[in-house]
Structure 1
Amino acid sequence: MHRTAKYLYIIGGCALAAEREPIKNIERICIENVEKSRENSSPLVKIHAEHVGNLSIPRRSPACFLLKNQQEILISGGCTGPNNHTNTMELLRISPEFSSKILEETLEIGASCSGFDWASKGPFYPIFGGFEAHSCLDDAQVLDQSQNWNAKKLGKKLMPKIKNSTVLALENREFLMFGGWEDEQKTTKAIRKIKFNEDYTDYEVEFAGFLPYPVEGHSMVRIGSNVLLIGGFDGCFVQDSIIKYDLDTKKSEILPEKLSEKRENHVSAVLSDRFLVIAGGWNSRSSLDDVEVFEIQKDSELARCQVNGKLLMARNRPAGVPI
């Protein structure tokens, strides 16, 4: 399975630290042109950014899901200001015309910084943990598209309290959770496998390994049988490193290529089949509006590209959905 797209939709976020100045704006970026550089062998990639619409309310770090029709994105939760978390959901229609509609249904718990996979197949869309007002969550909530987006908090609690993880949907109702901030005490390097029953009313969690270092606030892309975990925060410092995790061998390694800017709370995607694009985030001092691009080579090895272009605005902790 190779997840690739033409556009990366970048949704909400905030302009400052500590959830301040949340953003309603949605923009999308794409690779407009690729040229051979005159200075060296790395290609020059031109990034095009455009404003496509607005959320109904500002949201920092909502959970987002691309629906099967590839024309709608379900947006749930997020924070609308410092310690102010919303339980609302809205449906974005991307084409033929952009529109946004707040749904009558709401989450049982309004949270931000939850673990989710935008590419979950549905009709069940799970959301793991997150942060609500003043505490982390150990809950799993499931959105049921077949029941008009009914949201149900499952009674079982087998996860630690966790936020800022990344989650990958696998086959057979299985999910992998990478890293996160655990039990309000530490950044974790744990990998957990979560498996649901057929109607997503129950689940089991088992330990599935360790990453090379603890990390939270990272981004994730899947390239074939490899998962790249990009940047993040290790509990002390913002990171510029990239971890490659092999789904077949269950082994991980730190790639030699590094980000040019240390960043957490950013988004990433594979665009135009062969480019890893990383955008926005936080560098421990300010929100970022820059874009980094790597050309994907054999066995998910990366080669840095020169980049012309940036986001329309700096964004800390937006959500990203490739289409």
Structure 2
Amino acid sequence: MGTDSGSWHSALDCDQWVALPVAGRRPSARYKHAAVVVDGKLYVVGGSRNGRYLSDVQAFDLKDLSWSSIKLSTKSDAENDKDSTQTENFPPIAGHSMVKWGNKLLFLGGHSKDASDNVTVYYIDLESHLFGVMEATGKVPVARGGQSVSLVGSKLIMFGGEDKHRRLMNDVHVLDLETMTWNVADTIQTPPAPRFDHIAAVHAERYLQIFGGCTHSIFFNDLHVLDLETLEWSKPQIQGDLVSPRAGHAGVAIDENWFIVGGGDNKNGSSETLVMDMPKLVMSILTNVKERDPLASEGLSVSSSFINGELFLVAFGGYNGKYSNEVFVMRPTPKDSKNTKIFQSPAVAAAAAYALAKSESLDFTSIGSKPKVDLSVEVNVVKEEKKSLESSIREVEAVNSVMMEKLEELNGTHVDLSKELHSVQGQLASERSRCDDLEAQILDLQKRLSSMKSIEQEVQALRSQKLAIEQDMEEAETVQRQGSGGVWRWIAG
């Protein structure tokens, strides 16, 4: 892959990630940064490394494959000179969101050591490299990181995140970029569980789709859809390939495809690159990488770029036990050449229509300009699929009834076994008590037995003394008898 001709992309295979060779010095490895491709350059801002927030702004030229560091400046108020500037550093930040708006990059949210209480909107002018703060009014949301921010027309839609007190959120806020006014979206139906480090994309300028993310202990692989006209949440089932729960993944939507890369669950990185057909809600695995590959990381970024009319995905950074600063590219297979049989399934079409066929006449003035969406095709698909879905439901209900009977039977068996277990436990407790009594008796007998030995010795000694005394008495009696007989003989003689 040559770097001098600028034609490195011509030899790439489709649906395969390739690490680009880099000319010159690379920026620091990092994760939870923000990145976007503008005019053939990948802009990378901030991030985190070893617990330290970064403040640099880097640009990677996709033509000559070289990095450069961008120096920022702000307008100076010195001597009221409107044209004077001074060099400044971007605030150290991580977990923030970046959106291109005109010739500016806008930054919202993120964690920083000097974070304010509310969300601050920073900007960088790509032409002058000036940066500053865009003052906003209205119901400004509380400061947070790990949120998602999506551009719809001239409005930014912010969802979820984690505030500086580690409180998780599932609120929706809208920033009108023309008036710089914040508003809260009062949604209906069941919203997603509070989360952060998820991803979001907007389909047809109307449907905000939220995928994955985590709490402090739970990781998600669910999909939630917010109709931006009715502000109604729904939770359709994802069709196609099953995917594992993940957070810290990256996503980029191009036309009707949503490309999803990386993420993990704090134990394993997600090695698959996914693509979801947003109208049909069909998830497919585009390719896989090795388990410890930099692309199987949390906190990486993915952007899109068109080079010579061809679409390329551009990924950077991430952390999977090691921080990365490599640039990877992939050329997805053009949509027309893909096998789309799975997209023709009526069940798939019905699942997609679930999120689309909610209303026929809606007002979108509170969020953005009203798109023209013809729902007749989706409604007809739902009607055609209704009978087969009802039949499937009846079959599931029948299976469920049988399973409930078996469950009740197992519950009865469990009750009987529990009673028997309690009885056996009572018997065991009684036997343990008897054993304790027997051990106490044995110990007492052992003590008595040891004392009997000493008594036996004393009795034996007494017996010996008694025997000696008896012998002495017999001898004395004998002497006495002999002495008495002699006296009488003397008297008689």
Match of 1:295 among 331, 335, 342: 331
Structure 2 CA distance for partners of 1:249 and 1:154, relative to 1, 3 Å: closer
Structure 2 CA distance for partners of 1:212 and 1:72, relative to 1, 3 Å: same
Match of 1:51 among 53, 66, 69: 69
Do the aligned partners of 1:56 and 1:102 also contact (CA within 8 Å) in 2?
no
User: Residue 161 of structure 2 aligns with which residue?
Assistant: 130
Q: How far did 1:25 drift?
A: 1.0
Structure 2 CA distance for partners of 1:56 and 1:276, relative to 1, 3 Å: closer
| Counterpart residue type for residue 60 of structure 2 | I
| Counterpart residue type for residue 99 of structure 2 | F
Structure 2 CA distance for partners of 1:4 and 1:99, relative to 1, 3 Å: closer
- How do 1:145-160 residues align onto structure 2 when only pairs under 5 Å count? 145-147=177-179, 149-156=180-187, 158-160=191-193
Q: How far did 1:85 drift?
A: 7.3
Do the aligned partners of 1:129 and 1:138 also contact (CA within 8 Å) in 2?
yes
Tell me how far apart the structure 1 counterparts of residues 55 and 155 of structure 2 sit (CA, whole Å).
26
Tell me how far apart the structure 2 counterparts of residues 204 and 196 of structure 1 sit (CA, whole Å).
7
Residue aligned with 1:104, SS? coil
Do the aligned partners of 2:203 and 2:279 also contact (CA within 8 Å) in 1?
no
| Counterpart residue type for residue 57 of structure 2 | I
Structure 2 CA distance for partners of 1:287 and 1:4, relative to 1, 3 Å: closer
| Counterpart residue type for residue 195 of structure 1 | D
User: Residue 422 of structure 2 aligns with which residue?
Assistant: none
Tell me how far apart the structure 1 counterparts of residues 115 and 125 of structure 2 sit (CA, whole Å).
29
Q: Which structure would you say has the larger RCO, counting Cα contacts within 8 Å and 6 or more residues apart?
A: 1
Larger helix fraction of residues: 2
The reply on whether 1:88 has 2:120 as its aligned counterpart is: yes
Do the aligned partners of 2:54 and 2:93 also contact (CA within 8 Å) in 1?
yes
Q: How far did 1:180 drift?
A: 1.0
Do the aligned partners of 2:37 and 2:43 also contact (CA within 8 Å) in 1?
no
Q: How far did 1:155 drift?
A: 4.6
The reply on whether 1:206 has 2:224 as its aligned counterpart is: no
Structure 2 CA distance for partners of 1:91 and 1:266, relative to 1, 3 Å: same
Match of 1:280 among 314, 317, 320: 317
- How do 1:234-249 residues align onto structure 2 when only pairs under 5 Å count? 234=265, 236-249=267-280
User: Residue 267 of structure 1 aligns with which residue?
Assistant: 301
| Counterpart residue type for residue 94 of structure 1 | L
| Counterpart residue type for residue 15 of structure 1 | R
Tell me how far apart the structure 2 counterparts of residues 251 and 266 of structure 1 sit (CA, whole Å).
24
Residue aligned with 1:138, SS? strand
Structure 2 CA distance for partners of 1:300 and 1:151, relative to 1, 3 Å: farther
Tell me how far apart the structure 2 counterparts of residues 224 and 154 of structure 1 sit (CA, whole Å).
26
Q: How far did 1:300 drift?
A: 9.3
Do the aligned partners of 1:138 and 1:160 also contact (CA within 8 Å) in 2?
yes
Tell me how far apart the structure 1 counterparts of residues 61 and 155 of structure 2 sit (CA, whole Å).
29
| Counterpart residue type for residue 92 of structure 1 | I
Structure 2 CA distance for partners of 1:252 and 1:89, relative to 1, 3 Å: same
Greater shift in the superposed pair: 149-158 or 166-175: 149-158
Tell me how far apart the structure 2 counterparts of residues 82 and 188 of structure 1 sit (CA, whole Å).
30
Identity of aligned residues (%): 17
Q: How far did 1:235 drift?
A: 5.4
User: Residue 473 of structure 2 aligns with which residue?
Assistant: none
Larger strand fraction of residues: 1
Structure 2 CA distance for partners of 1:282 and 1:122, relative to 1, 3 Å: same
Q: How far did 1:103 drift?
A: 2.9
Q: How far did 1:257 drift?
A: 3.4
CA RMSD in angstroms comes to 2.8
User: Residue 410 of structure 2 aligns with which residue?
Assistant: none
Tell me how far apart the structure 1 counterparts of residues 231 and 335 of structure 2 sit (CA, whole Å).
33
Structure 2 CA distance for partners of 1:66 and 1:252, relative to 1, 3 Å: same
The reply on whether 1:144 has 2:181 as its aligned counterpart is: no
Structure 2 CA distance for partners of 1:123 and 1:298, relative to 1, 3 Å: closer
Q: How far did 1:175 drift?
A: 1.1
Do the aligned partners of 1:214 and 1:235 also contact (CA within 8 Å) in 2?
no
Residue aligned with 1:60, SS? coil
Structure 2 CA distance for partners of 1:254 and 1:23, relative to 1, 3 Å: same
Greater shift in the superposed pair: 250-259 or 265-274: 250-259
Q: How far did 1:250 drift?
A: 1.9
User: Residue 226 of structure 2 aligns with which residue?
Assistant: 194
Gaps of 5+ in 1: 34-46, 303-323
Do the aligned partners of 2:274 and 2:287 also contact (CA within 8 Å) in 1?
no
Q: How many residues end up aligned between the 2 structures?
A: 272
Tell me how far apart the structure 1 counterparts of residues 335 and 108 of structure 2 sit (CA, whole Å).
35
